[in-house]
Amino acid sequence: METYDVVVIGAGFAGLTAARDLRAAGSSVLVLEARERIGGSTWYQPDAFDGFGLEMGGTWIVPQQSHVFAEVRRYGISVTDSELPDRMTWSDHGEVLDTLLPVSPQEYGELEHALRALVAAGERIDPLRPLTEQDLADLDVPIRQWATEAGLGGNARELLISWFCGCANAHEDTASALDVIRWLAAMDNSLWGMVQASVLGYTFTHGTASLARAIAEDSGAEIRLSSPVEKVHAEDDGATISYRDGRVRAGRVLVTVPIGVLRDIDFTPRLPADKLAISAENHAGQGQKIWALARNVPEDLSGFGWGTDFDYVGAMGTIERGVVLVCFAPEHDRVDADDLADVQRAVREFAPHAEVVDAHTHPWVHDEYSKGTWATFRAGQFAKYELAVGRPEGRVHFAGSHTARRWRAFIDGAIESGKRAAAEILAEA
């Protein structure tokens, strides 16, 4: 039977980064990836709209994300800053507001209160420490509940709830407000920075795949695609890993699969109850991301809405057939991406004369190797599982963006977790 120092399960950014760092330290590494591609929850499709590449998963990065920007500089990867709109678009239940701000002058006080409440909450968070060590239980509640307890009102309340849902890609009664407010803390409590991190940061000029390939090639690790892992049998002196086409031995195993997928692997000894519980519950990120190609829309559209099907619609570029729009909704079945009329109806809540001529999406929620979009914790999950998800179990180690500190659920967090896990494994050697 083939034997390696480490077998890494998953070729997303966490697994690829760990494999590279382990190889650099002299370890023999095999990466087993279930899909036919690398990249995990990022997936760049270069020719989706007449040669205009689409990011089906992770997209934006910001300079405050030190891990991913270090990799960008290391490999000379080209990134492009977002072009800012002349003004933001605000949609109130499908009515586009002809105002600079999302509220009327009569509600300026409500808007100020909402922003002050958000900043005050963000100032309580140290993004480099476990959140469960910081007396933040009152923030680890559903988004809607936090808005109520913070005394938010009017359109300011509706906007912040919708914005939080957009950041979480999750429903307001499910997602933890804490998991969104920590974005603000990670951006040094800058509200504008939080917007940039969500939809107006830098993008990869040639797609996220350009960085994934660079890390994979630099690692020199063997990567086997279409190789979903079925069993991990750990013993005192190593582990046997069974996958679709065979079995291998390893001194240690690094598991980087998404939260909801973890329970699909048969572990011996059985994983602790907390790891199995969060995998069964899964995270709250069960929304959708749809790309639409539309005519008769502003080329710099950047719209936030409340009481709308999409919580955000933004222009990402223009080609001959129209403007390329990225659209987010907090529920995976909110808009039918296969029905152009339905996509058009939802887009028209932000651009009333839009004519949608094409649309594209990936059903991450129904993808057996993802079972969701990015990992936003459900309300209450931090207290129960924050430390559990990344805790090693004997010779089996765990990484993935959901185990990161500062930038959980981002590309940066995945890279951070891969580096952390590699160092953890090497320390045990």
Last residue of a domain, one of 173, 200, 227: 200
Q: Distance (Å, rounded) from C-alpha 315 to C-alpha 282?
A: 31
In a domain, 167, yes or no: yes
Q: What is the pLDDT of residues 71-102, one digit of tens each?
A: 999 999 999 999 989 889 999 999 999 888 99
Q: What is the pLDDT of residues 372-385, one digit of tens each?
A: 999 999 999 999 99
In a domain, 190, yes or no: yes
Residue 389 labelled as part of a binding site = no
Residue 33 labelled as part of a binding site = yes
If you write DSSP's letter for every residue of 370-409 in order, what string do you get? TSSSS-PPBTTHHHHHTTTTT--BTTEEE-SGGG-STTTT
In a domain, 178, yes or no: yes
Looking at the chain, the whole-number percentage of residues with pLDDT higher than 90 is: 97
Give the model's confidence band at 293: pLDDT under 50 very low, under 70 low, under 90 confident, else very high: very high
pLDDT of residue 338: 97
For β-strands 3-9 and 29-32, DSSP reports them as: parallel
Co-location of 217 and 181 in the same domain: no
Q: Are 311 and 371 in contact (CB under 8 A)?
A: no
The answer for residues whose C-beta is within 8 angstroms of residue 45's C-beta and 6 or more apart is: 53, 54, 56, 360
The answer for residues whose C-beta is within 8 angstroms of residue 342's C-beta and 6 or more apart is: 335, 336
In a domain, 400, yes or no: yes
In a domain, 16, yes or no: yes
Co-location of 262 and 397 in the same domain: yes
Determine the average pLDDT of the residues in 294-318: 97
Q: Are 421 and 398 in contact (CB under 8 A)?
A: yes
Q: At what angle do helices 13-24 and 411-428 cross, to 10 degrees?
A: 40
Token representation of residue 318: 């223009």
Q: Are 253 and 6 in contact (CB under 8 A)?
A: yes
Last residue of a domain, one of 200, 225, 249: 200
Q: Distance (Å, rounded) from C-alpha 230 to C-alpha 264?
A: 7
Q: Distance (Å, rounded) from C-alpha 183 to C-alpha 412?
A: 12
Co-location of 422 and 400 in the same domain: yes
Q: Which domain range does residue 163 map to?
A: 107-200
CATH number at residue 406: 3.50.50.60
**Helix (DSSP H) and strand (DSSP E) numbers for the chain:** 12, 19
Cis geometry, peptide bond prior to residue 63 (ω within 30 degrees of 0): no
Co-location of 401 and 266 in the same domain: yes
Q: 429 pLDDT exceeds 90? A: no
Helix H or strand E segment including 238: strand 238-243
* Closest C-alpha among 300, 302, 297, 299 to residue 312: 302
Last residue of a domain, one of 185, 200, 215: 200
Co-location of 189 and 140 in the same domain: yes
**Tally of structural domains, the chain:** 2
Cis geometry, peptide bond prior to residue 102 (ω within 30 degrees of 0): no
CATH number at residue 181: 3.90.660.10
Co-location of 239 and 191 in the same domain: no
Residue 229 labelled as part of a binding site = yes
Co-location of 169 and 125 in the same domain: yes
Co-location of 111 and 193 in the same domain: yes
Q: Are 301 and 336 in contact (CB under 8 A)?
A: no
Co-location of 167 and 20 in the same domain: no
In a domain, 218, yes or no: yes
Q: Distance (Å, rounded) from C-alpha 31 to C-alpha 16?
A: 8
Q: What is the pLDDT of residues 179-202, one digit of tens each?
A: 999 999 999 999 999 999 999 999
* Closest C-alpha among 301, 325, 351 to residue 83: 301
Co-location of 21 and 158 in the same domain: no
In a domain, 414, yes or no: yes
Identify the three-state secondary structure at position 48: strand
Co-location of 264 and 404 in the same domain: yes
Q: What is the pLDDT of residues 19-45, one digit of tens each?
A: 999 999 999 999 999 999 999 999 999
The answer for residues whose C-beta is within 8 angstroms of residue 81's C-beta and 6 or more apart is: 201, 202
The answer for residues whose C-beta is within 8 angstroms of residue 339's C-beta and 6 or more apart is: none
44 residue type, one letter: Y
Co-location of 136 and 189 in the same domain: yes
Length of the chain in residues, anyone? Answer: 429
In a domain, 232, yes or no: yes
Give the model's confidence band at 292: pLDDT under 50 very low, under 70 low, under 90 confident, else very high: very high
If you write DSSP's letter for every residue of 310-367 in order, what string do you get? -SEEEEEEEETTEEEEEEEESSTTSS-TT-HHHHHHHHTTTSTT-EEEEEEE--GGG-
